[in-house]
């Protein structure tokens, strides 16, 4: 069989994920493999239709398509997303129709599920036969059991192609509305009380729903707010994954992005990201922004700020994207995720009211310095970062390590001396039947009793 591997790493042959593909090739040499570095060559693919068409011709001739990439900022690399955009822009979706496909990724398992959901939805939108995906740690190759799982994954994929196995679908197609938003001017305007408000967008066209929503949001305030179009920012390319920034937050690019991010975004109190739904994400330019902002590594560079979104398009049909946006605010930035306002209700008056309330809420929270407690998205994500930054990846992420140490984010449970002393004592005591019965009889009321007592003595 002919297997086309679409390598999504900008690092080309040096891709970690591609080494797992090499392992698959070694164990299943009977198949023909054609590896295409689409992310590494994305600039050429954008400007050279002939080269792009050669890749599409390879896809047409394939028995199976293997999407291979490392996770970057909750999803696929920006260059890979741009390639996926080109498929629809060039009208070559039919080349992928009914092709058997699978996904292989490497990461530290921080939001690998959102990246896999994104790719599965993309494949289903292309009417491909999605077989399976496998998410691997960057060093899983070192373990025999993980290598065995890779071979089982590959064997299952090849068998599905040979036997023309039926495949399921999990995602409904996305449908777009032709609703046109007609805003009205606000009756009252909100005083920002000195708080700096910034709207960042990739599509600042006044005649679109998004453009009109941004203008209506701007009119909600008594003073001026900044609206910046990403197209006007000096961004000369997407993240290369070189990890140069890991030592001291210095990006290898010599463009204006880092200065823009530090001087404009990080000095704002309230930041609203505005974009349009493009298939299963926003635009690849937005992904470029998020990937390039990685020069701050896993340090929450927007911690404590008020973040929100104005989105045009069918966001409600894409819960995976909703989770990505929320995680971008909370798990990534430790900021306050205030809300997401869309034009999906199809009612201009309602959108006006939502934008006005959104603006007021952002200012109120900014004045109070409010950041809501983290949910699982943030708590779980923090523990993934904490463990790897303290441990095996400390030599790479030295800037993160210094930040985590300074802000006491290495909050390992074993560092709680009281718990370390009491837990083994209680474990021993509860082996005694009488004590165990009494202990578990009191456990039910123990936490609430302490809280009730505390409430009586606090303001």
Quote the pTM value: 0.94
* pLDDT of 444 strictly over 80: no
E-strand ranges in 42-82 read: 64-70
Measured CA to CA in angstroms, residue 301 lies from 74, 376, 408 at distances of 16, 20, 16
Half-sphere exposure of residue 441: CA atoms within 13 angstroms, side-chain side: 6
pLDDT band at 418 (very low <50, low <70, confident <90, very high): confident
pLDDT (mean) for 369-397: 94
Q: Are residues 109 and 159 in the same domain?
A: yes
Strands of the sheet with 270-276, listed across from one edge: 226-229, 197-201, 270-276, 306-312, 336-342
Residues in the chain: 459
Q: Are residues 385 and 364 in the same domain?
A: no
Closest CA to 6 of 61, 57, 69: 69
Q: Are residues 364 and 391 in the same domain?
A: no
pLDDT single digits (tens) 63-93:
999 999 999 999 999 999 999 999 999 999 9
* pLDDT of 446 strictly over 80: no
* pLDDT of 392 strictly over 80: yes
* pLDDT of 204 strictly over 90: no
Q: What is the pLDDT of residue 438?
A: 83
Q: Are residues 346 and 440 in the same domain?
A: no
Structure tokens at 318: 């894409």
Return the sign of the alpha-carbon dihedral for residues 410, 413, 419, 424. Answer: negative
Q: Are residues 98 and 242 in the same domain?
A: no
Between 413 and 135, the higher pLDDT residue: 135
pLDDT band at 421 (very low <50, low <70, confident <90, very high): confident
Backbone angles phi and psi of 240, in degrees to 5: -95, -5
3-state secondary structure of 24: helix
**Inside any domain, residue 184:** no
The mean pLDDT of the chain is: 95
Closest CA to 351 of 339, 343, 359, 361: 343
Pairwise CA distance, residues 307 & 288, whole Å: 19
Out of 167-171, 275-279, 425-429, least confident range: 425-429
Q: Are residues 380 and 363 in the same domain?
A: no
pLDDT band at 251 (very low <50, low <70, confident <90, very high): very high
Instruction: Tell me how many domains the chain contains.
Output: 4
pLDDT band at 416 (very low <50, low <70, confident <90, very high): confident
Domain range holding 238?
A: 197-368
pLDDT single digits (tens) 322-334:
999 999 999 999 9
Angle (CA) 327 333 336, round 5°? 80
For residues 378 and 334, is the Cβ–Cβ distance under 8 A?
yes
**Inside any domain, residue 300:** yes
**Inside any domain, residue 187:** no
Q: Are residues 153 and 265 in the same domain?
A: no
* pLDDT of 445 strictly over 80: no
pLDDT band at 124 (very low <50, low <70, confident <90, very high): very high
Q: What is the pLDDT of residue 452?
A: 77
pLDDT (mean) for 376-405: 95
Q: What is the pLDDT of residue 143?
A: 93
**CATH (domain of 245):** 3.40.50.360
Between 46 and 422, the higher pLDDT residue: 46
Q: Are residues 99 and 153 in the same domain?
A: yes
Q: What is the pLDDT of residue 310?
A: 98
E-strand ranges in 52-187 read: 64-70, 100-107, 129-137
**Inside any domain, residue 185:** no
Q: Are residues 290 and 439 in the same domain?
A: no
pLDDT single digits (tens) 39-48:
999 999 999 9
Q: Are residues 133 and 207 in the same domain?
A: no
User: What DSSP string describes 266-315?
Assistant: TT-SEEEEEEE-BTTBS-HHHHHHHHHGGGGTTS-TTTT-EEEEEEES-G
Q: Are residues 306 and 425 in the same domain?
A: no
Q: Are residues 332 and 384 in the same domain?
A: no
């Amino acid at each position: 069989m002919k297997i086309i591997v679409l390598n999504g790493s900008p690092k080309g042959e040096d891709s970690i994920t591609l080494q797992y593909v090499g392992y698959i090739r070694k164990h299943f040499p009977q198949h023909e493999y054609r590896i295409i570095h689409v992310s590494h060559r994305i600039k050429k693919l954008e400007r050279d239709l002939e080269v792009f068409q050669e890749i599409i011709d390879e896809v047409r001739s394939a028995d199976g398509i293997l999407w291979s990439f490392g996770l970057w900022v909750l999803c696929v690399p920006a260059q890979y997303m741009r390639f996926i955009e080109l498929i629809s822009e060039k009208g070559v979706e039919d080349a992928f129709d009914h092709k058997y496909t699978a996904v292989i990724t490497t990461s530290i398992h921080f939001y690998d599920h959102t990246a896999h959901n994104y790719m599965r939805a993309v494949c289903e939108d292309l009417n491909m036969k999605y077989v399976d995906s496998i998410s691997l740690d960057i060093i899983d190759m070192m373990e025999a059991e993980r290598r065995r799982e890779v071979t089982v994954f590959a064997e299952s994929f090849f068998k599905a192609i040979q036997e023309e196995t039926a495949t399921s679908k999990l995602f409904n197609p996305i449908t777009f509305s032709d609703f046109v938003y007609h805003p009205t001017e606000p009756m009252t305007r909100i005083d920002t009380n000195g708080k700096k408000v910034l709207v960042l967008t990739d599509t600042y066209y006044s005649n679109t729903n998004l453009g009109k929503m941004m203008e209506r949001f701007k009119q909600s305030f008594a003073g001026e707010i900044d609206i910046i179009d990403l197209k006007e920012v000096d961004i000369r390319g997407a993240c290369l994954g070189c990890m140069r920034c890991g030592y001291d937050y210095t990006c290898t690019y010599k463009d204006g992005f880092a200065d823009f991010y530090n001087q404009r975004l990080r000095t704002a109190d309230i930041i609203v990201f505005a974009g349009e739904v493009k298939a299963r994400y926003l635009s690849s330019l937005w992904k470029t922004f998020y990937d390039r902002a990685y020069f701050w590594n896993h340090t929450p560079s927007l911690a404590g700020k008020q973040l929100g979104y104005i989105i045009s398009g069918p966001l409600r049909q894409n819960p995976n994207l909703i989770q990505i946006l929320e995680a971008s605010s909370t798990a990534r930035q430790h900021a306050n995720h205030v809300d997401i306002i869309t034009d999906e209700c199809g009612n201009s008056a309602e959108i006006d009211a939502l934008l006005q309330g959104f603006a007021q809420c952002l200012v109120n929270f900014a004045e109070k310095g409010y950041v809501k407690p983290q949910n699982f998205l943030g708590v779980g994500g923090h523990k993934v970062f904490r463990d790897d930054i303290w441990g095996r990846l400390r030599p790479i992420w030295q800037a993160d390590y210094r930040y985590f140490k300074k802000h006491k984010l290495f909050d390992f449970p074993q560092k709680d001396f009281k718990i370390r002393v009491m837990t083994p004592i209680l474990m021993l005591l509860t082996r005694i039947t009488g004590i165990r019965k009494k202990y578990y009889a009191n456990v039910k009321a123990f936490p609430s009793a302490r809280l009730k007592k505390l409430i009586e003595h606090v303001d």
